[in-house]
A and B are shown apart, each in its own frame.
Chain A
Amino acid sequence: MDKYLAIESVGVAFETRKGPFIALRDINLTLAQGEFVSLIGHSGCGKSTLLNLIAGLNAPSEGVLLLANREIRGPGPDRGVVFQNHSLLPWMTCHDNVFLAVERVFGSTERKPQLHARVTRALELVNLGHAAHKYPQEISGGMKQRVGIARALSIEPKLLLLDEPFGALDALTRAHLQDELMRIVADTGSTVVMVTHDVDEAVLLSDRIVMMTNGPAATIGEILTVDLPRPRERLSMASNPRYMALRTEVLQFLYQKQLRAAA
């Protein structure tokens, strides 16, 4: 399906005391099934707002969003969201955190042992089978974020939404989780929208990079197709001329075309 996710003429305006504030305008974007798309831009460009629209946490003021030909009218478990700050419930073990999501989606059709098996599979997918019975405060930041990814994937979402998923992690952990995310996405064939401000992350992981202009009234500036073959090796990319060229293109967009407006 070519138009798995379709965002058509979408705009967002917030009412303020000084009249409407236009955050986003004229957003047109379609994703094919299995595609990995990154949203990148300076802070305040509305990339998280756009992700929240797809998640259904915000509603558009104009235009329409369609997922598998059905209008997005609110949040729902057909989309798995990974938040920047992992958002695990501290009074539940990792297993129970994932179980909350699994039970919501499959609880009416499957029985307890099957539900628990799903949780176990999801945690093993992110290599955390051994930490199932630990509480979030007993594991590291990178592990928490992996539980967040497991929770999002455990409900077999049509769409995986990642809001700066590795932004709060140190560089080494981030690289490790990026590699792991590439493997997971390749294994599951997920369709992914990821918000990031990390140029390397965007080029390494994405099929396309959506570069956004500065707000207010932000919109899509350019869309860059990343035509690097998969699987991509972090180390070999460092000396790959095509990778460097793509990276330079994103940097040029962010720091030449959009910087003056931001300053």
Chain B
Amino acid sequence: MSAAASQSAPRPVVASVAVHPSAPGLATSLAQARLRAKPAARPARTRAPDWLVRGFAMLCGLTLFVCVWAVVAGSGDRIPGPAAVWQSALEIFSDPFYQKGPNDQGIGWNVLLSLKRVAIGFGLAALVGIPLGFLLGRFRFLSDMAAPLIALLKPVSPLAWLPIGLLLFKAANPAAIYVIFVCSLWPMIVNTAVGVQQVPQDYLNIARVLNLSEWKVFTRILFPATLPYMITGVRLSIGVAWLVIVAAEMLTGGVGIGFWVWDEWNNLNVQHIIIAIITIGVVGLLLEQALVLLARRFSYGGS
């Protein structure tokens, strides 16, 4: 009842992220589970702070990985060791934005070009998928109509669409963007539609007893209630898009980080391939984290 009592309760900032519809990646969900399980009262004996223990554990994991890598690399001569890759990486990242013709650009340009393709394809998918998801969520007939199509097309690997894209656009760049568009579309449609269907009846009852206009219902109730689901769709889409762009660029050639990997394979420069793998991983991680932050911003907690 009293304000003081409610304020002394722990604010469910972290828990609220966990109950909201997003399906966090394994690492984040594990971390959240651990944070939630944290006891309220600490034992009197002083212990190292939580973040320090976690940081140490992460460092141990990375060190172990590098050690295993060094041993594997040392046992043969085909895979370069960590030291050699590090040297090579210093070289590459000392000038990531050089440009020597269309097929020889710095790794920075390649990453940026891949991200640009993802952004365009993904942006188009959001423009189409989110309104479509709202329609499917609001109108039963439309969702029944679309259900078999979505069920049929969702499991198809996005790369299977690549030949159609090449046929339609007769160029590598739009075809790659088109593949990103197709693979981002399904998570966006499905999550938005599910979000609209999951809007609690209580909220819609408020709209009914107040007789709110359709526009008010949409802006004040449907849209905010669906937003967390939409962000989950965006996150899944971005993840898939980043996976797919590498493969698509390997097939289409030209520029981009995927092409770069393939190009270095043709040059038999394994060090660069390993650097590319790590770079792709870091960029994917950053994308994921940015969207987790966005999702946290728009989660409302238990009502």
Task: State whether these chains interact.
Answer: yes
**Residue interface mask A183-204, B partner, CB < 8 A = 1:** 0000000000000000000000
Contact B205 A87 (CB under 8 A): yes
Q: What total count of A-B pairs have CB within 8 Å?
A: 79
Quick check: is A55 within 8 A (CB to CB) of the other chain? yes
Q: Total interface residues on A, using CB and 8 Å? A: 36
> Given the known A-B contacts A89-B221, A91-B224, A100-B210, are A137 and B1 also in contact in the complex, defined by CB atoms under 8 Å?
no
Interface-forming stretch among A2-10, A17-25, A77-85? A77-85
Contact B211 A137 (CB under 8 A): no
> Given the known A-B contacts A77-B210, A85-B202, are A137 and B303 also in contact in the complex, defined by CB atoms under 8 Å?
yes
Say which residue of A56, A91, A142 sits within 8 Å of B300 (CB atoms).
A91
B75 smallest CB distance to A (angstroms): 56
Quick check: is A61 within 8 A (CB to CB) of the other chain? no
A55 smallest CB distance to B (angstroms): 6
Contact A87 B1 (CB under 8 A): no
Contact B5 A140 (CB under 8 A): yes
B200 smallest CB distance to A (angstroms): 8
Q: Which residues of A contact B208 (CB under 8 A)?
A: 57, 75
Contact A176 B1 (CB under 8 A): yes
B270 smallest CB distance to A (angstroms): 51
B13 smallest CB distance to A (angstroms): 10
> Mostly helix, strand, loop or mixed at chain B's interface?
helix
Closest residue of chain B to A148, judged by CB? Answer: B206
Q: Which residues of A contact B170 (CB under 8 A)?
A: none
> Given the known A-B contacts A89-B203, A91-B300, are A138 and B209 also in contact in the complex, defined by CB atoms under 8 Å?
no
Closest residue of chain B to A107, judged by CB? Answer: B216
B208 smallest CB distance to A (angstroms): 5
Quick check: is B302 within 8 A (CB to CB) of the other chain? yes
Say which residue of B6, B206, B210, B300 sits within 8 Å of A140 (CB atoms).
B6
Contact A81 B301 (CB under 8 A): no
Kindly state the interface size class of chain B when it binds its partner. Answer: 20 to 34
Quick check: is A260 within 8 A (CB to CB) of the other chain? no
Quick check: is B40 within 8 A (CB to CB) of the other chain? no
**Residue interface mask B260-303, A partner, CB < 8 A = 1:** 00000000000000000000000000000000000000001111
> Given the known A-B contacts A83-B202, A87-B202, A87-B205, are A142 and B1 also in contact in the complex, defined by CB atoms under 8 Å?
yes
Contact A83 B211 (CB under 8 A): no
Closest residue of chain B to A84, judged by CB? Answer: B202
Contact B303 A173 (CB under 8 A): no
Q: Which residues of B contact A (CB under 8 A)?
A: 1-3, 5-7, 11-12, 16, 202-203, 205-206, 208-212, 216, 220-221, 224-225, 300-303
Q: Which residues of A contact B (CB under 8 A)?
A: 55-57, 74-77, 79-81, 83, 85, 87-92, 100-101, 104-105, 130-131, 135-140, 142-143, 155, 172-173, 176
15 pairs of residues in contact across A and B, judged by CB atoms under 8 Å = A57-B209, A81-B209, A87-B206, A89-B303, A90-B300, A100-B210, A100-B212, A101-B210, A104-B211, A131-B3, A139-B3, A140-B1, A140-B2, A140-B6, A143-B1
A-B pairs, top 8 by smallest CB distance, nearest first, are: A90-B300, A90-B303, A87-B202, A137-B301, A91-B224, A140-B6, A81-B209, A142-B1
